[in-house]
Amino acid sequence: MAFPLPVEEEVALTGDPALAAAEHSAGPRRRRVRRRHLPWFSGTILLVFVITGVFAPLLAPYDPETLDLGASMQPPWFAGGSSDHILGTDDLGRDVLSRLIYGARVSLLVAIAVVVLAGIVGVTIAVLAGYKGGRLDAFLMRTTDASLAFPVILLAIVIVGVFGASTLNVIIILAVAGWPAYARVLRSEVLRLKSQDFITQARAMGGGLRWVILRHILPNIVPTLLVLASLQVGLAIIAEGSLSFLGLGVPPPAPSWGGMLSDGRENIADAWWLPTMPGIALSLVVLSANMMGDWLRVNNDPTTKR
């Protein structure tokens, strides 16, 4: 059974002017299809999240830690509240919108710091283990397995119990818990690249360890690294929210989405907006980060790109 060739390949083989015209008209259609398949939803949500986190002091209408007991428990303006507090206030009169905006800044800071630190450690271990092999590979991978098996909550309890709760400690906890995912996945990529002919030729030409890694190994694992990093952003945000919800993350009165969820659950029957607003924000950002990771994975995989 013969399969039809793509239009551009048939044009190259036959040189038919009619096929060339068809290929020319198909170009704009392909570009429109590509534009339709761009991650508009997830990209827009993540862009708003980043802008909100970076410019929080300019966007927040109130100080997120200022108390106003006379305006406590006001519902959102669309539920009969005042337009002065669009998303309402909490039991201490703090503006929910302002706390959401500053909470985005905390989540953004934690996510970026965790992804960078965990990525550096994970990439280093993956490259050394996959390229060097032998006993070093076995030792590093057993260390990675032990780190994957260690409970994150127990690590958080130990660190918070010894050093206290802070944003820096949250970053350290999540970075320690996050690097094994990079090491495990990227080591497989390094092992695959190590067996390729261009690596063998580079070593035969006298390329040293550092030169081969910097010029050939690292550039070729960047696509996989980008996918992992985008997925880890969502994991870091939801992990920070979980730790703050349990009282092991960002300490009050500093605003965080997890802390707002924890405070709001006590008043969920009378003030539904207190847990709902941070819950929606957290869900949208994590969903968008995961969707962006899936889009990057598909578009960097030559077997699924077509």
In a domain, 1, yes or no: no
Q: Are residues 71 and 201 in the same domain?
A: yes
- What Rg value do the Cα atoms of the chain yield, rounded? 25
Torsion of CA 13, 18, 23, 27, to 10 degrees: 160
Rounded to the nearest angstrom, the gap between the alpha carbon of residue 53 and the centroid of all alpha carbons in its chain is 15
In a domain, 304, yes or no: no
Q: Which of 39-43, 99-103, 122-126 has the lowest mean pLDDT?
A: 39-43
Banded pLDDT at 14 (limits 50, 70, 90): low
In a domain, 274, yes or no: yes
Q: Out of 62-76, 79-93, 204-218, 231-245, give the one with best mean pLDDT.
A: 231-245
Q: Are residues 46 and 78 in the same domain?
A: yes
Contact 188, 271 (CB under 8 A): no
242 pLDDT above the threshold of 50: yes
3-class secondary-structure state, position 129:
helix
Owner of token pair 């800071």: 109
The more confident residue out of 16 and 1 is 16
CATH of residue 58: 1.10.3720.10
Q: Are residues 257 and 114 in the same domain?
A: yes
What is the structure's pLDDT at 67? 84
Banded pLDDT at 302 (limits 50, 70, 90): low
DSSP letters along 230-276, please? HHHHHHHHHHHHHHHHTTSSSPTTS--HHHHHHHHGGGTTT-THHHH
Q: Are residues 20 and 49 in the same domain?
A: no
Owner of token pair 């695959």: 192
Contact 16, 10 (CB under 8 A): yes
Banded pLDDT at 112 (limits 50, 70, 90): very high
Q: Are residues 228 and 282 in the same domain?
A: yes
Q: Are residues 193 and 58 in the same domain?
A: yes
Whole-prediction pTM value?
Answer: 0.79
In a domain, 306, yes or no: no
Peptide bond into 219 cis (omega under 30): no
The amino acid sitting at 219 is P
Q: What is the distance between the alpha carbons of residues 302 and 220, in angstroms, rounded to a whole number?
A: 14
Count of structural domains, the chain? 2
Could you give phi then psi for residue 89, rounded to 5 degrees? -130, 165
Q: Are residues 286 and 176 in the same domain?
A: yes
70 pLDDT above the threshold of 60: yes
Q: Are residues 27 and 62 in the same domain?
A: no
Q: Are residues 121 and 161 in the same domain?
A: yes
Q: What is the distance between the alpha carbons of residues 63 and 56, in angstroms, rounded to a whole number?
A: 10
Domain of 192, in residue numbers: 41-299
Span 224-250, average pLDDT: 87
3-class secondary-structure state, position 255:
coil
Q: Which of 286, 303, 179 is nearest to 238 (CA)?
A: 286
Q: Are residues 56 and 147 in the same domain?
A: yes
